[in-house]
Amino acid sequence: MAKLNVNGRMVDVDVDPDTPLLWVIREQIGLTGTKYGCGVAQCGACTVHVDGVATRSCSMPVSAFNADQKIVTIEGLSPDGSHPVQKAWLELDVPQCGYCQAGMIMSAAALLQQNPKPTDDDINSEITNICRCGTYNRVRAAIKLAANGGEVGRG
């Protein structure tokens, strides 16, 4: 039995300790916004925040977490989709198929938390998520829009 703090709620889950956090989030807790892509910490589709740090949940066993750590999924990023990154994503129509986008948004939100005005190089080095649809240019533009408080500018 593990006790986790997910999106501000304490949850008890009864799973094998080796179970990846991703599957606990999706199958035990029922939050399916976090996606499975590669399963080997490469694509970033499974990104959540752990104490504010972008974390690839497919490759971390649930036993690595405790109730004192704050896990946030895409469902918990904001109560109503009003996080600046979510608003910028909508404004610039970033998603194509959408599969990678929850992970992209979580990675972008964590980046801006640590670095409120990232350069292109910062974004390129920190956002290593893979998008099969090639939305990278819009992802970069939306991160800069969010960094500018929703104002179009040089970022």
Q: Judged by CB under 6 A, does residue 45 bind ligand FES?
A: yes
Q: Judged by CB under 6 A, does residue 19 bind ligand FES?
A: no
Q: For ligand FES, give the closer residue by CB, 8 or 58.
A: 58
- Closest among 78, 73, 64, 66 to 29, alpha carbons compared: 73
CA atoms within 13 A on the CB side of 112: 21
Span from 8-16, 32-40, 80-88, 112-120 in contact with ligand FES (CB under 6 A)? 32-40
Q: Judged by CB under 6 A, does residue 101 bind ligand FES?
A: yes
Question: C-beta of 36: minimal distance to ligand FES in Å?
Answer: 5
Q: Which of 13, 32, 33, 42 binds ligand FES (CB under 6 A)?
A: 42
**What gap in Å lies between CA 52 and CA 100, rounded to an integer?**
19
Q: For ligand FES, give the closer residue by CB, 42 or 69.
A: 42
Residue ranges in 116-145 that form contacts with ligand FES under rule CB under 6 A: 131-133, 135
Helices vs. strands in the chain: H and E counts, helices first: 5, 5
Q: Which of 17, 81, 98, 149 binds ligand FES (CB under 6 A)?
A: 98
Question: Both tokens of residue 95?
Answer: 């998603």
Binding stretches for ligand FES (CB under 6 A): 36-39, 41-46, 56, 58, 95-101, 131-133, 135
